[in-house]
Amino acid sequence: MQTVELGSSGLHVTPICLGTMTFGEQVKETDAHAILDRSLECGVNFIDTAEMYAVPAKAETCGATETIIGNWFAKHPGVREKLVLATKVAGPARGMP
């Protein structure tokens, strides 16, 4: 898959970014891992997450998406270095940590 430069960062990412906001709520971990596997097989090298995911945000699932992605990286040594992982922080809100 072709890549484009991400701004002036020097990072080259696929035009398709895998959004993961449903991992850990609507999408269970085993299915999330299958989605990540398939994305990698298709050449996607760009994954987006956030500290408040899964959505809808709840205290008990806050950070679940990052944990799922971390568990997937742990099962795939060497893959992390091949991917660009984008994240963001919303800060405390609605009683979330």
From the list 36, 47, 50, 53, the catalytic residue is 53
Q: Is 53 a catalytic residue?
A: yes
Alpha helices, DSSP H, located in the chain: 29-41, 64-75
Task: List CB contacts of 11: < 8 A, sequence separation 6 or more.
Answer: 5, 84
> Which of the 8 DSSP states describes residue 81?
G
- The residue among 91, 47, 44 whose CA lies nearest residue 70 is 47
Residues 83, 95: Cα–Cα separation, whole Å = 32
Residues annotated as part of the active site: 53
